[in-house]
Amino acid sequence: MKIAPSLLSADFARLGEEVRAIDLAGADYIHIDVMDGHFVPNLTIGAPVVRALRPHTAKTLDVHLMVEPVDPLIESFAKAGSDIITVHAEATRHLDRTLQLIKSFGKKAGVALNPATPETVIAYVLDRLDLVLVMSVNPGFGGQDFLPVALDKVRRLRGLVASRPIEIEVDGGVEPKTAAELKEAGADVLVAGSAIFHSADYAANIKALR
């Protein structure tokens, strides 16, 4: 099980230090939530912050774009140092084209699915995907409670993905209890914010999630 601490719950006044700390604590990915105040009701960071954080870690920068329209921003995030760029299926009319655009910059491509979005929307783009992100909360804010409906969606995705090299990632309300349930359902990567940053012992918090 890979753990991807979400910087949404980190101390924004010292993001570089926070990235180095979770890297040393055993994070597999560094999850960066990008919100535009339009697709979701919150506003966070842009490509310049990703660029500023890139020198602080060699770990995978897992960039989750909660923005609409998304295509005009992909190039800037790719050039800023993102390793995985995940877009919402709900934020683009031409999902196949958007995934091709991500791949054109040599980046891994992911699709995020909101709680009310069925997993079947990715059926015809599976061969363009490296990651599927299941939202287990409604996107836009950290600290929300886990929505159990995500467990069944992960199980169905596991069957849909089959033997393809596509990781199933889950974001929202992840804590040790839900982590165990998600592992059983077939998740590969867990995004966690509050569960990791709520206390200073990041290594212990990551270990608890594993």
What domains lie within the chain, and their CATH numbers?
2-209 (3.20.20.70)
Total Cβ atoms within 10 A of residue 127: 8
Tokens of 196: 């990791």
Catalytic residue among 33, 36, 130, 188: 33
Which of 28, 36, 62, 171 does the annotation list as catalytic?
171
Long-range Cβ contact pairs of 152-157 (< 8 A, separation 24 or more): 152/185, 153/113, 153/119, 154/182, 154/185, 154/186, 154/187, 155/185, 155/186, 156/119, 157/119, 157/132, 157/186
In the block, which residue shows the tokens 């165990």? 180
pLDDT at residue number 143: 75
pLDDT in tens, 50-73: 999 999 999 999 999 999 999 999
Give the mean pLDDT of 174-180: 94
Examine the pLDDT at 201 and tell me if it is beyond 80.
Answer: yes
Rounded distance, CA 82 to CA 50, Å? 7
Q: Is the pLDDT of residue 141 over 80?
A: no
Is 33 one of the catalytic residues?
Answer: yes
99/112 Cα distance (integer angstroms): 12
Q: Which residue has the tokens 């560094």?
A: 30
> In whole angstroms, what is the distance from residue 136 CA to residue 46 CA?
24
Judge whether residue 142 has pLDDT over 80: no
